[in-house]
Amino acid sequence: FQNFQYFKSINFRVRKMKVKRTQVGIIGAGPAGLTLARLLFESGISTVILEAKDREYVENRVRAGVLEQGSVELLGRAKSDARLQSNAQIHKGIEISLNGDRCRVNLEKFSGGKHVTVYGQTEITIDLIEVHTKLGGEIIFEASNVMPRDFETKTPVIQYESNGDLTELQCDFIAGCDGFHGICRSSIPPSKLKFFERLYPYSWLGILAEAPPPSKELIYASHERGFALYSMRPPTRSRLYLQCENNTTLDNWPDEVIWNELRCRLGVKDANLIQEGEIIEKGVTPMRSFVTEPMQYGNLFLAGDAAHIVPPTGAKGLNLALSDIFYLSNAFTSFYDTGSTKELKSYSKTALSRIWKTERFSWWMTSMLHKASETDNFENRIRLAELDYLLSSEAALSSLAENYTGLPY
């Protein structure tokens, strides 16, 4: 909010402002903003996406790639699923490993016939951008000083700079799809929002390796040395994660240490499970649960990571962003078709109901599978009891499968 006041006083008087007009101004070309733009385009509603980074940067971010069926259907409605339909993998189960003892969870059986689709988020972003630009949708990359304004009025604007021009984008609504560090949430007066947050005492070290998949399904491993996850970017790459300390740096993780640790946490009973390959990316991700309430202020609507974060265990971040977009795109379409603001008014409440259930699931999976502090021996015993219960109870497995494959919209 303060940024906005500062910007207003500094920038307005010095340069001539160009004016542009659209129906829904979208800030952020991540999966949330791009999918919203695609769905609105298909309904004949005009949008402009303003994105701070360049196209290459946006198309190269490596993130989780496990899709619920609802997400796949939405990408179909967004006409961006052609490559996904031919290249993605259908997974009907996951494996849970406890100190090397592996147990397959039959997702299809326990969810009543559902599955997940494995297709990298990077590929989804590439597909959405390609289709949208080909069909004439407008994405302005490298837009700087993007600033939503006047959203408490009926005439919101987004001010931005691009190629040296200062432009005012006039719109009916603003969609804040600009991720956790974006400008939209922080432009709303803090007194109008409530935040809920949990930070975890561990992080994930993630690697992308040119190594053939050692297993056809994802392996979530709880080990006395800490959590590990085996995932994949078919057909040739493995995506692997290790629980690590929050203050760790990449210097602590030379390739050899990573492979040893992966072999130990994911292996034991299958010592040759992990196949090494060239590591082409390495990074540390902190673990956070975060929710903003409400997700609307005036004519500014927040969606995706701009409004909430989940820890990555269970791969719900992208799916949650897309379920927000399902509700938000329906609400905009209903408004432009009938003039009714009913769905727009209930957007935040409707979306938050599903968000909190997914937050609960991500928190539960994270807490159960990660090693807690050595000093918290009670917590560590409870986690083991939770895992033991899960793997021995059809009711618990059904709950895992129902949530993992995605709650209904």
Decide which of ligand PHB, ligand APR, none touches 28; Cβ closer than 5 to 8 Å per partner kind: ligand APR
Name which of 178 and 217 has its Cβ closer to ligand PHB: 217
Catalytic residue chosen out of the listed positions 92, 132, 223, 316: 316
Tell which one of 28, 156, 176, 213 touches ligand APR (CB under 6 A).
28
- Does residue number 128 form part of the binding site for ligand PHB (CB under 6 A)? no
Catalytic residue chosen out of the listed positions 31, 91, 308, 311: 91
Tell which one of 20, 53, 79, 282 touches ligand APR (CB under 6 A).
53
Name which of 98 and 169 has its Cβ closer to ligand APR: 169
- Does residue number 51 form part of the binding site for ligand APR (CB under 6 A)? yes
- Does residue number 244 form part of the binding site for ligand APR (CB under 6 A)? no
Question: Could you tell me which stretch among 42-50, 60-68, 257-265, 272-280 binds ligand PHB (CB under 6 A)?
Answer: 60-68
- Does residue number 66 form part of the binding site for ligand PHB (CB under 6 A)? yes
Tell which one of 107, 314, 329, 332 touches ligand PHB (CB under 6 A).
314
Residue 197: CB atoms within 10 A of its CB come to 10
- Does residue number 30 form part of the binding site for ligand APR (CB under 6 A)? yes
Catalytic residue chosen out of the listed positions 312, 327, 347, 370: 312
**CA–CA dist 283, 280 (Å, integer):** 11
Name which of 110 and 327 has its Cβ closer to ligand PHB: 110
Tell which one of 187, 296, 313, 323 touches ligand PHB (CB under 6 A).
313
Q: Does 404 participate in catalysis according to the annotation?
A: yes
In which region does residue 297 sit, left (phi positive, over 0), alpha (psi from -120 to 50) or beta (all else)? Answer: beta
As measured in angstroms, the least distance from the Cβ of 211 to ligand APR is 23
Residue ranges in contact with ligand APR by CB under 6 A: 27-33, 50-53, 58, 63-64, 121, 143, 146, 177-179, 182-183, 304-306, 317-318, 321
Catalytic center residues: 91, 220, 312, 316, 404
List contacts with ligand PHB (CB under 6 A): 64-66, 218, 229, 231, 239, 312-315
